[in-house]
Amino acid sequence: MAILDPRLLPLIDVLAQVGMDWLAFELVEGVRRGEEPVEDGSALRRARDRAKRTSDASEQTERFAAPTAAATPFQGDDQLEWAVRYVEERLFAALDQMAESLDALDEIVSGADAPSTVTRTATTRLLLRGHDRVDAIGRLEVDRARTQLPALRVALDSWLGNERSDSPQ
């Protein structure tokens, strides 16, 4: 388990201040966990084939349990780079999920059988409940946030450039 690089604290603090403490927690956990090994496709395919040939689940577990490789801790600048990419990816994914949820709600409300017949409305809203507030998010807010993501990427890359150990301070 990696020790959190103190240079990440301002990023974590900013996330918490803007109400994205969920992302700050995920970020800390991800950095501490490190880079987890990913099974290659052939190993997964072999395991699937072995499982099909073996009918008893307990026998499968005992005979075919593969040793799990340990995660590789992020160190130094790698923590910062991973954190920046993680924040970007999570925010892009969160906005994509919100847009898909709005599409699904539009489909339900319109009663359409096929998604292609759904007309997008500006009135469908997602209510996000926090500890002390409720935010109503609609298609307009999601689209506005998506247009600001490139500026966020630039700001994060700038911060990363300033924080790297090889950057002039």
Model confidence pLDDT, tens digit, residues 26-50: 999 999 988 887 777 787 788 788 8
139 in any annotated domain:
yes
pTM over 0.75: no
Q: Is the model's pLDDT at 61 over the cut of 60?
A: no
Cα dist from 87 to 64, 84, 97, 112, 136, whole Å: 37, 5, 15, 35, 22
Whether 132 is covered by a domain: the verdict is yes
Share of the chain above pLDDT 70, in %: 82
Q: Provide the domain limits for residue 156.
A: 75-163
User: Number of structural domains, the chain?
Assistant: 1
Per-residue model confidence (pLDDT) at position 59: 55
pLDDT for residue 119: 57
- Find the mean pLDDT for residues 149-155: 94
Looking at residue 141, its pLDDT comes to 92
95 in any annotated domain: yes
Q: Tell me if 87 is assigned to some domain.
A: yes
Residue 167 has pLDDT above 80, yes or no: no
**How far apart are the C-alpha atoms of 119 and 107, rounded to whole Å?**
8
